[in-house]
Structure 1
Amino acid sequence: MSQEERRLEVSEAAWRVIVREGLDRTSMRAIAQEMGCTTGVVTHYFRNKHELILFALHQVTEKLQVFMEKGTQSVSGFERLVAMLSAFLPLDVERQDILRVWLAFLGYAVGRENLMTEHQHSAARLRALVVQELQQLQAAQLLRKDIDPTIEANALLAFVNGLSLDWLIQADCLTAEQQQWAIRQYVSDRLAKKPI
């Protein structure tokens, strides 16, 4: 097994601990116990919890980007945008875990400037993909001319993040189908030159 594969294995164990116990209770020892190995094995690949948490955040970004790319492979126009935004929704177990890890990291990053900066960089990377998609829709004359793609990308991601958080904290939350319907309605009513 390569070093990178082993780092991913450690990161996946960290994800399981974070999802189950939260970031505050995630320790190098807890991760080692999850893997059935010694703490020394974990620290061989990650010097400390801070380094491991940053790697886990980068994995969140990578996984979300893969979901965005997969969702847009066979669709065009506004359906591509809806598919991209749906990547952020907790529509299955994997994306539910991504949401929990992302939220745990965000809470842990508050008051830790370097971690918050990393969080902002990761968010900016994903936001840039949404901005690019909106620009392409505008170039194809599908998006209203008065829409600013950068401002709208921020609004869309805030909307999607709100839907995701609602799923996490509400006892009677929107179903997966209702979440996707809400995105489609927003896109159709707010952005499209004519309803989609």
Structure 2
Amino acid sequence: MELTERQQELADAALRIIGRDGMPALSFRSVAAEAACSLGSVQKAFPSKERMLAASFARLRENAAPLPPGEPGRPTLRAWLVSLLLGILPLDDERRAAQRRGDAFAQQALADPGIAGAIAQSDAQVRGLLASLIGRAQAEGEIPLHVDPEIAAWSILALAQGLAAQLLYRPEFEGELRARLDVTVGALLD
């Protein structure tokens, strides 16, 4: 989704509202107040609340946690995946707010086919990337050939999503999580 600079600013304001107060608090008026602009400027930027939600979701995905430094899957896929998971899991205030925003969109997807489709497409892209990295690691001898890349990718995404949800109501420290993630990711790749 191509957004103007103004639409990006307003979508970011909407994300702040969603992360702080939840999806029910989102309205043209609340976005105008958050962005310190007029109601008319929000309505001009987005002809409907659905368009504002779509733009906000696009910004959420665009600003997702960065990948670990270096080439994906290096030095080993297992170590890279553990670093990736630790980087995206809600282990601090900023990532907890990002998780709450993602969860709000997942709830919205129950009634909004556009958001549901965007989430499904995003998840498919993540699984595709993971499967290709697993395939490369198999070709290089790092991961056994009996591991199905598609199933392992699906399992890793499910692990990330489930653990992220749990960490919102049962916070843990990164140090406590690293060893368990290493064992769990290793089990999925062996």
Q: State whether TM-score is above 0.5.
A: yes
Please tell me the residue identity of whatever aligns with 2:131: V
Equivalent positions of 1:59-98 (< 5 A) are: 59-64=59-64, 67-68=66-67, 71-73=68-70, 75-77=74-76, 78-98=78-98
Q: Which residue of 2 aligns with 1:119?
A: 119
Identity %: 26
Aligned equivalent of 1:9:
9
Alignment of 1:1-196 (within 5 A): 4-64=4-64, 67-68=66-67, 71-73=68-70, 75-77=74-76, 78-170=78-170, 173-192=171-190
Q: CA deviation at 1:86?
A: 3.0
Size of the aligned set, in residue pairs, is: 185
- Residue identity in the other structure for 1:36: A
Q: What is the identity, as a one-letter code, of the residue corresponding to 2:126?
A: L
Aligned 8 A contact 1:163 1:179 in 2: no
Q: Deviations over 1:53-101 (max 9, x none)?
A: 112222222223x512xx1417411222222333431133332222111
C-alpha distance in structure 2 between counterparts of 1:63 and 1:80, whole Å: 20
SS of the residue aligned with 2:12?
Answer: helix
- Residues 136 and 72 from structure 1, CA distance in 2 versus in 1: closer, same or farther, beyond 3 angstroms? farther
Which TM-score applies when normalising by structure 2? 0.87
Segments ≥4 residues shifted beyond 4 Å? none
TM-score w.r.t. the length of structure 1 is 0.85
The question of whether the paired residues in 1 share the 8 Å contact of 2:89 and 2:160 is answered with yes
How big is the shift at 1:42?
Answer: 1.2
Aligned letter for 2:84? M
* Distance in 1, Cα, partners of 2:127 & 2:174: 22
Change (3 A) 1:137 1:49: same
Cα RMSD (Å): 1.9
Query: Could you tell me whether the CA contact under 8 Å between 1:86 and 1:180 is conserved in 2?
Result: yes
- CA positional deviation for 1:169: 2.2
Cα distance in 2 for partners of 1:120, 1:27 equals 25
Q: Which amino acid aligns with 2:172?
A: L
Q: Deviations over 1:147-176 (max 9, x none)?
A: 111111111111111111111123xx3222
The one-letter code matched in structure 1 to 2:179 is W
Task: Name the CA distance, whole Å, in 2 between partners of 1:11 and 1:94.
Answer: 17
CA distance in 2, matches of 1:73, 1:44: 41
Quote the Cα distance in structure 2 between the aligned partners of 1:138 and 1:82: 18
Could you give the per-residue CA deviations for residues 164-194 of structure 1, whole angstroms, max 9, x where no partner exists? Answer: 1111123xx32222233322111223314xx
